Amino acid sequence: MKLLHKDIEKDNAGQVTLMPEEAEDMWHTYNLLQVGDSLRASTIRKVQTESPTGSVGSSRVRTTLTLCVETIDFDSQACQLRVKGTNLEENQYVKMGAYHTIELELNRKFTLAKKSWDSVVLDRIEQACDATQKADVAAVVMQEGLANLVLVTPAMTLLRAKVEVTIPRKRRGSCTQHEKALERFYEAVMQAILRHINFDVVKCILVASPGFVKDQFITYLFKEAVRHDNKILLENRPKFMLVHSSSGHKYSLKEILSDPTVTNRLSDTKAAGEVKALEDFYKMLQHEPDRAFYGLAHVEKAAEALAIDTLLISDKLFRHQDVPTRSRYVRLVDNVRDNGGNVRIFSSLHVSGEQLTQLSGVAAILRFPIADLSEPEDDSSSDDD
């Protein structure tokens, strides 16, 4: 993401002009947008025209519109973002107040105006525009006949390919059908790796499976790389890392990322940091429950007591359309930061973020135990979207 212009007043009102450069930037933009914002962008509009003879035709024209945002629709698999709203500035094609849907496009700038830019949104822009925070980890999670190829970026986990091949059982006296099917499977996984992994960006490729599937696949992969003189694979061999997983399903990713050998290798990635923070929280909950709180009401009380060392909060909560509720989460984040605590904002598109959502999206590791918060949670602690 490129920040082209930023104009924010002392009262926090103002606008920024951004240009999304890759698919992940659409996810960042989705997290910046709120109902009631003003969005100005280039778009295609179908326009009816009438000729001098009275015949009516229609054509598609490119125009720039400013919408008051009403609905925001994000497709996480295609990374497409559509924003629907009413037109705020009349032009030759679209009347004032008319509805239109803008589909934001890569490498086309847009201007977003808000009545109030809070610290969480400004942090998101900083994160999106930081060139060092890109997809630096890929994972192939596999078992016999099933493989999921996943890209782990700082903001989201993207399933890029799913390979499924039926592997017949070994028969007494003959393994040829079994071996041929395995070879077809390994070949399909290899092609998925070559198609979806950008080796210039990715620092580490985790290959995980139960048993010896991963070892057999890596042997096949580099035997084929030598046979076809595939320089990309041969030059990047040190980036491949073999790890144990309990299955070939995507949910095994959390277990892989929390493996100590993996966390050491990926110590500079945000995804590994989130997984570790969640692991630390669960350990604390098990061994010192008075220093591990979850649910908004309890975490807020811990913040008031200046007790929070690390706050774990899901970005899903900041997409809440009720402004006072959203402001409550922002205040919590600001409070923890102002008092020297760490804040980890989890992506709801990461496995760790999904797990945090089950704890109502907010949890905290405390500096010191607080024992007198055993009263039930109030209703507001579960009013995320």
Range(s) within the chain of domains with CATH label 3.30.420.60: 136-268
pLDDT, one tens digit per residue, over 323-350 is 889 889 999 999 999 999 999 999 888 8
CATH tag, 271-366:
3.30.1330.30
> Does residue 135 register a pLDDT over 70?
no
Cβ within 8 Å of residue 216, ≥6 positions away: 182, 186
pLDDT, one tens digit per residue, over 44-83 is 988 877 777 777 778 889 999 999 999 999 987 777 899 9
Angle at 99 between CA 93 and CA 101, to 5 degrees: 90
The architecture that CATH gives domain 2-129 is Roll (2.30)
What region, left, alpha or beta, does residue 36 occupy, with left being phi > 0 and alpha being psi -120 to 50 degrees?
left
Range(s) within the chain of domains with CATH label 2.30.30.870: 2-129
Among 217-226, 249-258, 370-379, where is mean pLDDT lowest? Answer: 370-379
**DSSP conformation class of 168:** P
Burial 209-239 (b: 16+ CB within 10 A, else e): beeebbeebbebbbeebeeeebeebeebeeb
**DSSP conformation class of 90:** -
Q: What pTM value is reported for the model? A: 0.67
* pLDDT value of residue 269: 65
Domain 136-268: which CATH class? alpha beta
Task: Work out the average pLDDT over 11-17.
Answer: 93
Which residues on adjacent β-strands are paired with residue 311? 343, 364
Assess contact for 160 and 196: CB atoms under 8 A.
yes
> Does residue 378 register a pLDDT over 60?
no
> Coil, strand, or helix at residue 7?
strand
If one compares 382 and 309, the residue with the highest pLDDT of the two is: 309
Average pLDDT over the chain, rounded to an integer: 88
Torsion angle, alpha carbons of 115, 118, 120, 121, to 10 = 30
> Does residue 374 register a pLDDT over 60?
no
> Does residue 268 register a pLDDT over 80?
no
Assess contact for 365 and 305: CB atoms under 8 A.
no
Range(s) within the chain of domains with CATH label 3.30.1330.30: 271-366
pLDDT, one tens digit per residue, over 93-122 is 889 999 999 999 888 999 999 999 999 999
If one compares 133 and 39, the residue with the highest pLDDT of the two is: 39
pLDDT, one tens digit per residue, over 275-287 is 889 999 999 999 9
